[in-house]
Amino acid sequence: MDRLQRLTESAGLERMLSVKVGLYAVLALAAVALVVKILNDKRGRSRTWLTSRPRSPDPENTSTNINDFVEKRTKPTERPPGTWQPSSFKRPTAPPLPNWSVTDSKPLPYRPFRHGPNHITMGLRTMHWDEWIGLDNHYLRFHTDKARRIAERGAKCCKTDASDPRVWDGAVELLEDLAAYLPERYPSMFTKTVVGVDNVVTNESFNVRDLTMNGVTEDPMQLSARLIQDDLAIMFEREDGQYYLSAGAILLAGFWRLEDKFGMPLSLIHTSGDVPGFKQKLEKGMMNFFRRVQPEKPVLRNNYFLQVDDDLAWSNSIGSEDSTVEGELGWFTAEKNRAIQHHHFRSERQSLRRLPRSGGVVFTIRTYFLPVTEIAEEDYVPGRLAEAVRSWGDDVAKYKGRERYGEVLLEYLDRKHEEQVARGLKVEREEDEVRGYPY
């Protein structure tokens, strides 16, 4: 009997031990998995900035062209030219941008230039809806400059073709969407109201229904321009299949004037501006893209220029903005080889989307404007920019005015690159380990 009791107790102990061992084993495996996850997360965080930010293809130094983009990412349309059936598409609600501040959030450092040979392309990429409008701590400067330009130049900078109901409706549609998007994305600055939106930082109240700002009636494109840092343009298709610049708020463009381009078809806008390679490499693909682009598939692109003065709104070095004499404006008027302190890097981030109700194709054109001496302090930037500038073909170099500033600019960039290498910068690491566009 005692033996039987000892056997029973032994079996119970074994079962108890078996349960404990199994529990300990599960806990040990969980602990190992947690440690592995922490280590992987730590390693991943060291490279997060390379993968979590959108990459920005260079409009000049990549072999991807607009014809490839159109064929792969858009579908042909059978609708008659100049017509549009309103779409039921609704823009996804934008989540609030975490920790955004009108005083502390710095501009995104777009550096859309690369090593290697020059290629002419639009450099399109897909846009996430959350990224449609970017605001930062340069907002108040841009807002002040825009308000001044509106007061000084009015309809020369902001205009909507009221003779075409589609165009007017498109301009209002854009304003409506901005009034909806901005409180979603930047709730600390914009508050949605029954009639529109309020900017609580600038104390401006926008009535979208009555097209007023603080009670004063304005053009809908002008109202949209006051809300954001971007310039704006809307193109509408006519029966000839061409897209015409029919509404715009071009206040900080630097090198072109809305009054010169207003009412022009897309092709003439580019050829009149001597855009390099447009007829040969861009026109067909661009026309197909505009014809096919759908409301649910917006895109982004970037470009860049050099400027030898510090005027964000209009580059006075190429001549007077008010010049009316043909041949008076151009890089040929700029002082040659000004000191590097006058050189500025001008980058544009452009979004393109079709408005679902009116069918207009709207551009947002956000300019980033910094002294070359500032961006040249960034690792790898002076060497990469110098190689990009040297790689421009004759047509691109003429278009971007290299002859007027190239000697001073390249001497400075080369010297800054040599200084970076001398202090230990590993040039061979840039391509695979460091570079992440648009940064």
The mean pLDDT of 167-182, rounded to a whole number, is: 98
pLDDT at 14 over 60: no
Q: Mean pLDDT in the chain?
A: 84
Q: How far apart are CA 309 and CA 311, in angstroms?
A: 6
pLDDT at 339 over 70: yes
- Residue 139: pLDDT band (50, 70, 90) is very high
- Residue 56: pLDDT band (50, 70, 90) is very low
The residue type at 103: T
Weakest mean pLDDT among 80-89, 251-260, 285-294, 428-437: 428-437
Distances (CA, A) of 44 to 32, 40, 47, 52, 439: 18, 6, 5, 11, 18
Helix (H) or strand (E) holding 212: strand 212-213
pLDDT at 60 over 90: no
Helix (H) or strand (E) holding 395: helix 394-399
pLDDT of the residue at 166? 97
Weakest mean pLDDT among 68-72, 192-196, 198-202, 364-368: 68-72
pLDDT of the residue at 290? 86
Return the structure tokens found at 357.
């109700």
pLDDT at 78 over 90: no
Axis-axis angle for helices 402-422, 381-391 (nearest 10)? 150
pLDDT of the residue at 77? 78
Domain ranges of the chain: 47-434
The mean pLDDT of 44-58, rounded to a whole number, is: 33
pLDDT of the residue at 115? 75
pLDDT at 11 over 50: no
pLDDT of the residue at 125? 87
Percent share of the chain, pLDDT over 90: 65
First to last CA, the chain: 82
Q: Return the ∠ at Cα 271 (arms to 266 and 273), rounded to 5°.
A: 100
Tens-place pLDDT, residues 230-246: 999 999 999 999 999 99
- Residue 324: pLDDT band (50, 70, 90) is confident
pLDDT at 266 over 70: yes
- Residue 426: pLDDT band (50, 70, 90) is confident
pLDDT of the residue at 427? 82
pLDDT at 260 over 70: yes
Q: How far apart are CA 24 and CA 22, in angstroms?
A: 5
pLDDT at 431 over 80: no
Q: Return the HEC string of 285-325.
A: HHHHHHHHCCCCCCEEEEEEEEECCCCCCECHHHCCCCCCC
Weakest mean pLDDT among 8-17, 88-97, 262-271, 360-369: 8-17
The mean pLDDT of 389-415, rounded to a whole number, is: 95
pLDDT of the residue at 47? 31
pLDDT of the residue at 67? 59
pLDDT at 392 over 70: yes
- The more confident residue out of 140 and 59 is 140
Q: Are 355 and 163 in contact (CB under 8 A)?
A: no
The mean pLDDT of 159-178, rounded to a whole number, is: 97
Q: Are 346 and 368 in contact (CB under 8 A)?
A: yes
**Residue of 305, 275, 286 whose CA lies nearest to 395:** 275
